[in-house]
Structure 1
Amino acid sequence: MAIKKTELYSSLWASCDELRGGMDASQYKDYVLTMLFMKYVSDKYKGDPFGMIVVPTGTSFDDLITLKNDKEIGDKINKIIAALAEENDLKGVIDVADFNDEDKLGKGKEMVDRLTKLVGIFQGLDLSDNRADGDDLLGDAYEYLMRHFATESGKSKGQFYTPSEVSQILAKVVGITKDTPQDATVYDPTCGSGSLLLKASNEAPRGLSIFGQEMDNATSALARMNMILHNNATAKIWKGNTLADPQWKDAADKLKTFDFSVANPPFSNKNWTSGLNPKDDLFKRFVWGTPPEKNGDYTFLLHILTSLKSTGKGAVILPHGVLFRGNAESDIRKNLIKQGYIKGIIGLPANLFYGTGIPACIIVIDKEHAQKAVAESEGTMQGRSIFMIDASKGFIKDGNKNRLRSQDIHKIVGVFNKGLELERFSRLVSVDEIAKNDYNLNIPRYIDSSEPEDLHDLSAHLQGGIPNKDIDALEHFWQVFPNIRATLFGAKQGQAVREGYSHGLVEASKVKSSILAHQEFKDFAKRSLLPFKAWIKQVALTEISQGDSPKELIHEISEQLLTGYANSELLSKYDIYQILMDYWADTLQDDVYVLVQDDWIAGKVLRELVAVKGETSSNKSKETPDLVIAKKKYKAELLPPSLIVARYFADKQQAIDELQAKQDAATQALESYLEEQGGEDGLLVEAINDKDKITKASVTARTKLATDSEELLVLKQATKLFNGDATAKKAVKTAQEALDLAVFNQYPKLSIDEIKSLIVDDKWLTTLQTNIVAEIERVTQQMANRVKQLEERYSAPLPTLTKSVDDLSDKVANHLKAMGLEWTL
C-alpha cells in the first residue's frame, strides 16, 4: 500500500521525539535528516547499478538495522554512513552528524536504546515506491521536517529555512513560464537548505539547472541532501561566503551570470565587509552605490543584479527598511529605480520568518524589462512604473508565527502576474510619483490598506435613530438582500424618524435568526451552491486513475473552483478556494495519493494494526483503529466505517442510537439515585460503610446482612438500577459489535462503482459542501454582527439614559428614606 503523507510526517516527527532532551532542534535535525536520507537512497537505489546514488554492499539501511542493540551502534553507524559518503562524493554532506556523540546521545545503554529506537522508526517505512508522477513525497516530507525544525530552533537558528509559502511566491513571480527550457539557470547566493531553488525549478516544465552557495557548512549539507531527495542530484551547491569568495565565476574570472535568481539573504548583516573591500571589488558589484558598513541588505541585491544576465530576472526577500532608509541606501535605491531594474515590490506580513519577526518585502528584478523601459522612455522617467502590492493583512496565526494561506499566495501571485489593481491591495505606481516622494518606496505612501475608521454619530447618541450612512455602508449586502434591509431598518409605527436616520425594527438578539429565516437569504444560499454543483460535473473526480499526478490534479480542480466563484455574490472566491485547499491538506491529498498508486480497489482495504516485536510504548504506532473485530484492530485505508454504516446499515445504527438513549437514561437514573441516597443522610451511606465506594457488589453484600425493611427497600432499588444499567450497556455493546462485524464483512463486497460513490459523493463532496454552506452563513453573520452592533450602539439615546439614571436615583433615595437614612445637599 502507498504510504500516506500525513502518516509519513507523523512517523518522521516521532523520530525527533527520540532525540529531544540531549540537544535542541538545530542539532537533532542533522540526525533525523541523515537517517531519512539513508533510508530513502537504500530503498530506491540499493541493487541498482544505474542509480543516481551508488549503495555498495555494507552501506545500506539494512546494515543499520543489524546494529540495533549493538553496544557499538553509534560508531558503526558513523562508519556505514562514511562509506556511503565516500562512494558518492558526499563527504561533508551526509556525515555531518556524529552518531557516537555521548554529549548529545547519552552514554552506554542510553545511546544504544536511543539509536535503536531511531533506526526502528525508519525501518517501518517503505520509501521505495512512493513517488507519484510529478510529485515528490520524500521532498515534501523533508520540507515538513525543515519547517518544524525551524520552528523549534528559535530566533537565532532558524534562518536555514525559508517558509514554503514565501518560496512559492518568489518562484511564481520571478518570471519562469511553461516555455522556460531545462537548461535555463537559477541561482541563490544564500541558498540555505535549498527550498527556494527547488520551488523555482519546479515552476519550469522540465526543471531548471540549479546553482547555489551557502556559507554554513551544516546548512549546505542539508541543501545537498534536499536536492537528492527532490530528485535533483545534479544541482550544484557550493560552500563558502558568497560576498567575500563567490564560487560561481566564468572563464574570465568574472561572476557567472544566470537566467533567474531567488534569494532570502540574512537580514541586516553587520559583518558583510568581512574579507571584502567594497572599494576594490573585483566583480564591480557596487557601481550603483556602496551599502552602509553595518547593514548589508543592499549588498546581496547588488550581488544578484551583477549575477543576472542582461535578460535575467530575480526575486529577493529583504526587510522593509530597504524601501525607505536614507543616506547610502537612499542613493542605491534611487539609482536602481532610475535604471528600471525594480519591476515590483510585494509587502509581506510581519513575523513570517524564523530568524526574525520584522516584516519583509519581495523585490522583483527584471533586467530585460528595465532595458525596454529605459529605451522606450528615452532615458526619462515618463511612462515607467513599479507595481506594488500590500499583502501585509493576509495571513493566519500558526503557533507563535504568522503563516500565509493558500488563498493569500494565490491572490498575491495572480494579482502581480496580471498587473491587477485592487483597492487597498495593489497599484501600478509611476516612477514620476516615486521621484516626487524622493524615491522612497515605502508601500503605505502609495497604498492605503487600512480599514475605514468606524465613527460614532454624536447626533444619534443624543437624539436616537441609526444613521443611514452606516446602513448604506452595507450596500454590498443590500444589493443582494433589499427586502431584508426593509425588514431590519425603517420607521417604527407611531414614532417620528429624523431625516438621515432610521429605526431598528428587529431586536438585536433576533437579527441573525431573522436574516436566516428570510426567503431572500434562502434564495441566496441556494444560488451560492450552483457554482459548486457545476464544478462537481466539471472535475469528474471519479475518473482519478493510477499514475495521475496529485499536484497537477489539485492545481487543476482548485483553479476551476476559483473560476466558478469568480463572480459570486458576497462570497470571496479566495475563501472558497481556501476551503478546498484546507481539505486537500487535511484529507483529500492522502486519499488521492493512495488512489494514484493503488487505484480504487484500495477502498476495500482494512489494514490490521499489528505491533512490531520489540516495539516500545514510545515508538508504537499511535493510529486509532476504525474497527475492532475479535480483538483484532483494523484501520480503513480510504473509507471510514461511518460511511458504510450511513449507506448500508442506517437502520441498525438507528436501533443502536435508541439503545444508547435507553442506556443513558438508565445510567442517569442510577447516578441520580446514588447521589440522592448516598449523601450524608442517605440510607445507602448508613447501610454501607461511607468510606467505601457504593458499587453493585457492595450493595449486594449489604443486602444479605440487612434486616431493616426501609434499608432493604433502598438496597433492592439500587440493585434494580445497577442491573438495569448493566443490561442497557450490554445491549448497546452487543448491537455495536454486530454492526461492526456487518460493516467489516461489507468492505470486500463493495464494487468499484460503490467505492467511487462512497469516497467522492459521501466523503469528499459532502464535506466540501458542508464547509461551503458554513462559509455562506459566515458571510451573512458578518452582516448580522454589524446590524446588531448598530442596533445596540444607538438603542438608548442620551435623554433616555439620563431619565433612566434619574428614575433609579429616585428609587434609591426613596429606599434609603424608608430606612431612616436621609440627607440634604
Structure 2
Amino acid sequence: MTEQKAKLEQQLWNIANTLRGKMNADEFRDYILGFIFYKYLSTKMNLYANKILKPDGLTFQEIEGHPQEAEYMAAIKDAALDRLGYFLEPSHLFSELAKRGNGGGKHQFILGDLAKVLTHIEQSTMGSESEEDFGNLFEDLDLTSSKLGKSENDKNELIVKVLTHLDEVDFDLENTESDVLGDAYEYLIGQFASGAGKKAGEFYTPQQVSNVLAQLVTVGKEQLRNVYDPTCGSGSLLLRVAKEVKSVGAYYGQEMNPTTYNLCRMNMIMHDVHYKRFDIKNEDTLERPQHLDLRFEAIVANPPFSAKWSASPLFMSDDRFSAYGKLAPSSKADFAFVQHMVHQLDDNGTMAVVLPHGVLFRGAAEGHIRKYLIKDRNYLDAVIGLPANIFYGTSIPTCILVLKKNRSLSGAEGNVLFIDASQHFEKVKTQNMLREEDINKIIDTYRERTVEDKYSYVASLKEIKENDYNLNIPRYVDTFEEEDPVDLTAVAAELKALNKEIADTDSTIADFCKQLNIETPF
C-alpha cells in the first residue's frame, strides 16, 4: 500500500509540474487539484452507474443512444444525486473529454466543452440536498486565464496535455479498503503549502502538528459523534482526527477564504466523506458564526496567528464572550477564537488549538480572559510548547492549549500539565519537523500526565495563581542546563602560556624590524 501511495503521489506531482512553469504555486494548485477532483467525480459516477446497470447487461456509455435512454438517464440521475450528491452524463466523463482532446494523436479544441461540463456538475445538484456542498466548487478553475497561454490554442494545448496525463493514472477507486487517492491529494496540498510561503498558513496545517492535535482530542475515545474546526482551511485537521478513531459521525467547519473553502469541500469528497456527513461554511467565524446552536465532542484549530478582528462592543452581549467581561483586543484575535471554541465545546468534549506564545503571558484583556478560563471555569487541561519554525510562512514558536469543560472525567481537575517539546525535533532543510518519537512523547506524557525533568511538569492551580495566571512555560518547566564547572587553575595556566607566546612573537617581530631598519609596530 505504501509503495502504491508513493507511486501515485509522484505521478500526480509530475503532472502538476506540467503547469509549474506557467504560473505560481497558488495558481497551478487550483488547476491541478480541480482536474484531479473532476476525474475523481467522473470515475465515481461511472462505477456507480455501471453497478446500477449491471442487472440489465449495460454499461453507462451504452445508454446514450439506447431506445430507453431517457428512462435510464432519469433513474440513474435520481440515484446518483442521493448517493453521490451530483450527476454526470456519459459524454461528460473525464475519460471521454480527455480522449476527445487527444483525438487521433492531435489535440482537439475542448476548452468550451470542459467549461460547460464543470458548470453542469454544479448545476446537476440544484434543488437537491447536496446543492450547497457542490455549489461553485470549480469557480477558481479559470479556463480563460492568460496564465494558461497567450492564445486559446495555447491554453487548450496545455489543458489537453494535463488531462491526457491524468487519464493514464489509475485512481484505484474500486478498492474500497484503500484511501490512497485521498492521501495522495493531501500530499499534493502539503507540497503546494511548502512552496507557498506566508499564504500556506491560510489553508494548511503541517501533518506533524495535525497529528498531535488529532491525537490530543481523541485520547481514550474510539468514536466521535462530531468534530469541528472553526478555521478549517483545506480540512486536513478534520480529516486527520478521523484517522485516530474508528468512526466520526459528522464533520463541521468554517472557512473565510472562498478558494480555501472550495478546497476543503473537495478534500472531504475526495476522502469519501458523504456530503450528508459534512457541513462546511464560507464565512468569518468570529463575526458571523454558522454553527452556534451545535456542541462538539472534538474541536481542533490552527487559527491565523494574532489576526485582527472588529472586537465590536456589541459582542459583549454575545454568549460566546459575555461571561468573560472583556473581549480579546482588536489587534490580536487569538483569545476570541479560544472563547468561540469553548462556547461550542460539549460537556464531554476536548479542544486543542495552536496559538502563538503571547497568549501564555500577555496581560490586559488577554490576561483577564486567561484567568477566567483557569480560576473561574477550570477548563485549561494542558499547555504544550512546540519547536520554532515548524509552520509554513512563519518561524515563531507556538504552543498548543488543551481545554476541557469537565476535567473531573480525567481526574485532572486540580492541576494543569505543562510540556516543553520545543527542543525535540529534526531539522529538515529550512524547516523544523516533529519526528514520530517526538509526537509519541508528547501524547504519552499528556495521556499519563507524567513529570519529567526539563520536559514536563504538573502545576497545581495554586502555583498558577501564585504566578498571577502567567502560563509562560519556563516558569513551570525548568529548562536550565547547568554548564560544566570552570577550572580556574587550568584557565590561569593557559593565559600564562599565551602571554609567553605573545612575548616571544613580539620579540621575533622586533628582531625582524631591526634587521630591516624599520620602526617596530609596538
TM-score, structure 2 length as denominator?
0.83
For the residue of structure 2 that corresponds to 1:277, the secondary structure is: helix
Do the aligned partners of residues 101 and 452 (structure 1) sit closer, same or farther apart at CA in structure 2, a change above 3 Å counting?
A: farther
The equivalent position to 1:392 in structure 2, one of 422, 436, 439, is 422
Equivalent in the alignment of 2:77: none
2-structure distance, mates of 1:297, 1:802: 58
Equivalent in the alignment of 1:58: 91
Kindly provide the amino acid, as one letter, of the partner of residue 337 in structure 2.
F
Deviation, structure 1 residue 273: 3.9
Equivalent in the alignment of 1:760: none
Deviation, structure 1 residue 440: 0.4
For the residue of structure 2 that corresponds to 1:410, the secondary structure is: helix
Kindly provide the amino acid, as one letter, of the partner of residue 117 in structure 1.
K
The equivalent position to 1:358 in structure 2, one of 377, 385, 396, is 396
Query: Are 1:426 and 2:456 counterparts?
Result: yes
Equivalent in the alignment of 1:413: 443
Kindly provide the amino acid, as one letter, of the partner of residue 239 in structure 2.
L
Deviation, structure 1 residue 167: 0.5
Kindly provide the amino acid, as one letter, of the partner of residue 179 in structure 2.
D
Deviation, structure 1 residue 30: 1.4
Equivalent in the alignment of 2:73: none
Query: Are 1:118 and 2:162 counterparts?
Result: yes
2-structure distance, mates of 1:284, 1:819: 87
Deviation, structure 1 residue 59: 2.5
Choose between structure 1 and 2 for higher RCO, CA contacts under 8 A separated by at least 6 residues. 2
The equivalent position to 1:333 in structure 2, one of 355, 370, 373, is 370
8 Å CA contact 2:320–2:339 kept in 1: the answer is: no
Deviation, structure 1 residue 347: 0.9
Kindly provide the amino acid, as one letter, of the partner of residue 96 in structure 2.
D
The correspondence of residues 237-316 of structure 1 with structure 2, limited to 5 A, is: 237-249=280-292, 255-273=293-311, 277-281=314-318, 283-288=319-324, 289-316=326-353
Deviation, structure 1 residue 429: 1.1
1-structure distance, mates of 2:101, 2:228: 41
Equivalent in the alignment of 2:153: 109
8 Å CA contact 2:297–2:345 kept in 1: the answer is: yes
Mean alpha-carbon deviation: is it higher for 94-103 or for 23-32?
94-103
**What do the CA deviations read for 1:287-326 (whole angstroms, capped 9, x no partner)?**
1232123321111111111111122211111111111111
8 Å CA contact 2:450–2:456 kept in 1: the answer is: yes
2-structure distance, mates of 1:3, 1:78: 35
Kindly provide the amino acid, as one letter, of the partner of residue 233 in structure 2.
G
Equivalent in the alignment of 2:63: none
Kindly provide the amino acid, as one letter, of the partner of residue 338 in structure 2.
L
**What do the CA deviations read for 1:253-283 (whole angstroms, capped 9, x no partner)?**
xx31111111111222212447x821232x3
1-structure distance, mates of 2:521, 2:280: 90
**What do the CA deviations read for 1:651-687 (whole angstroms, capped 9, x no partner)?**
xxxxxxxxxxxxxxxxxxxxxxxxxxxxxxxxxxxxx
Equivalent in the alignment of 1:210: 251
Do the aligned partners of residues 368 and 131 (structure 1) sit closer, same or farther apart at CA in structure 2, a change above 3 Å counting?
A: farther
For the residue of structure 1 that corresponds to 2:96, the secondary structure is: helix
Deviation, structure 1 residue 241: 2.0
Kindly provide the amino acid, as one letter, of the partner of residue 257 in structure 1.
R
Equivalent in the alignment of 2:232: 191
Equivalent in the alignment of 1:578: none
For the residue of structure 2 that corresponds to 1:48, the secondary structure is: helix
For the residue of structure 1 that corresponds to 2:298, the secondary structure is: strand
Equivalent in the alignment of 2:179: 136
Equivalent in the alignment of 2:222: 180
For the residue of structure 1 that corresponds to 2:202, the secondary structure is: coil
Equivalent in the alignment of 2:62: none
Equivalent in the alignment of 1:318: 355
Deviation, structure 1 residue 81: 2.0
Equivalent in the alignment of 1:798: 495
Do the aligned partners of residues 62 and 175 (structure 1) sit closer, same or farther apart at CA in structure 2, a change above 3 Å counting?
A: closer
The equivalent position to 2:465 in structure 1, one of 432, 435, 460, is 435
Deviation, structure 1 residue 22: 4.1
Kindly provide the amino acid, as one letter, of the partner of residue 138 in structure 1.
L
2-structure distance, mates of 1:25, 1:246: 31
Do the aligned partners of residues 460 and 114 (structure 1) sit closer, same or farther apart at CA in structure 2, a change above 3 Å counting?
A: same
**What do the CA deviations read for 1:21-65 (whole angstroms, capped 9, x no partner)?**
443222221111111112223334413147753543123211231
Equivalent in the alignment of 1:491: none
8 Å CA contact 1:258–1:312 kept in 2: the answer is: yes
Kindly provide the amino acid, as one letter, of the partner of residue 418 in structure 1.
E
2-structure distance, mates of 1:459, 1:58: 89
Do the aligned partners of residues 814 and 404 (structure 1) sit closer, same or farther apart at CA in structure 2, a change above 3 Å counting?
A: same
For the residue of structure 2 that corresponds to 1:402, the secondary structure is: strand
Deviation, structure 1 residue 357: 2.8
Query: Are 1:73 and 2:110 counterparts?
Result: yes
For the residue of structure 1 that corresponds to 2:222, the secondary structure is: coil
Equivalent in the alignment of 1:236: 279
8 Å CA contact 1:93–1:220 kept in 2: the answer is: no
8 Å CA contact 1:391–1:425 kept in 2: the answer is: yes
Equivalent in the alignment of 1:86: 123
Deviation, structure 1 residue 443: 0.8
Query: Are 1:23 and 2:57 counterparts?
Result: no
8 Å CA contact 1:220–1:238 kept in 2: the answer is: yes
For the residue of structure 2 that corresponds to 1:447, the secondary structure is: coil
Deviation, structure 1 residue 246: 2.0
Kindly provide the amino acid, as one letter, of the partner of residue 154 in structure 2.
E
Kindly provide the amino acid, as one letter, of the partner of residue 47 in structure 1.
L
Kindly provide the amino acid, as one letter, of the partner of residue 23 in structure 1.
M
1-structure distance, mates of 2:143, 2:226: 40
Equivalent in the alignment of 1:718: none
Do the aligned partners of residues 452 and 123 (structure 1) sit closer, same or farther apart at CA in structure 2, a change above 3 Å counting?
A: farther
The correspondence of residues 159-178 of structure 1 with structure 2, limited to 5 A, is: 159-177=202-220
8 Å CA contact 2:311–2:329 kept in 1: the answer is: no
The correspondence of residues 714-729 of structure 1 with structure 2, limited to 5 A, is: none
Deviation, structure 1 residue 166: 0.3
The runs of 5 or more residues in structure 2 that have no matched partner are 53-79, 126-130
2-structure distance, mates of 1:157, 1:816: 65
2-structure distance, mates of 1:176, 1:373: 14
1-structure distance, mates of 2:314, 2:411: 33
**What do the CA deviations read for 1:343-364 (whole angstroms, capped 9, x no partner)?**
0011112222235332221110
The correspondence of residues 675-824 of structure 1 with structure 2, limited to 5 A, is: 797-812=494-509
Q: In percent, how many aligned pairs have the same letter?
A: 37
Do the aligned partners of residues 824 and 360 (structure 1) sit closer, same or farther apart at CA in structure 2, a change above 3 Å counting?
A: closer
8 Å CA contact 1:257–1:308 kept in 2: the answer is: yes
Query: Are 1:348 and 2:368 counterparts?
Result: no
Mean alpha-carbon deviation: is it higher for 325-334 or for 233-242?
233-242
8 Å CA contact 1:180–1:204 kept in 2: the answer is: yes
Do the aligned partners of residues 158 and 2 (structure 1) sit closer, same or farther apart at CA in structure 2, a change above 3 Å counting?
A: closer
1-structure distance, mates of 2:93, 2:232: 29
2-structure distance, mates of 1:816, 1:190: 75
**What do the CA deviations read for 1:511-554 (whole angstroms, capped 9, x no partner)?**
xxxxxxxxxxxxxxxxxxxxxxxxxxxxxxxxxxxxxxxxxxxx
8 Å CA contact 1:29–1:149 kept in 2: the answer is: yes
8 Å CA contact 1:131–1:137 kept in 2: the answer is: no
8 Å CA contact 1:78–1:98 kept in 2: the answer is: no
The runs of 5 or more residues in structure 1 that have no matched partner are 250-254, 377-383, 464-796
2-structure distance, mates of 1:36, 1:121: 11
Kindly provide the amino acid, as one letter, of the partner of residue 211 in structure 1.
Y
1-structure distance, mates of 2:521, 2:330: 77
Kindly provide the amino acid, as one letter, of the partner of residue 192 in structure 1.
G
Do the aligned partners of residues 326 and 72 (structure 1) sit closer, same or farther apart at CA in structure 2, a change above 3 Å counting?
A: same
8 Å CA contact 2:296–2:346 kept in 1: the answer is: yes
Equivalent in the alignment of 1:32: 32
1-structure distance, mates of 2:144, 2:222: 47
2-structure distance, mates of 1:112, 1:458: 78
8 Å CA contact 1:151–1:354 kept in 2: the answer is: yes
2-structure distance, mates of 1:168, 1:219: 21
Do the aligned partners of residues 97 and 15 (structure 1) sit closer, same or farther apart at CA in structure 2, a change above 3 Å counting?
A: farther
Do the aligned partners of residues 804 and 98 (structure 1) sit closer, same or farther apart at CA in structure 2, a change above 3 Å counting?
A: closer
Kindly provide the amino acid, as one letter, of the partner of residue 213 in structure 2.
L
* Aligned residue pair count: 474
For the residue of structure 2 that corresponds to 1:18, the secondary structure is: helix
Do the aligned partners of residues 209 and 822 (structure 1) sit closer, same or farther apart at CA in structure 2, a change above 3 Å counting?
A: closer
Deviation, structure 1 residue 803: 3.5
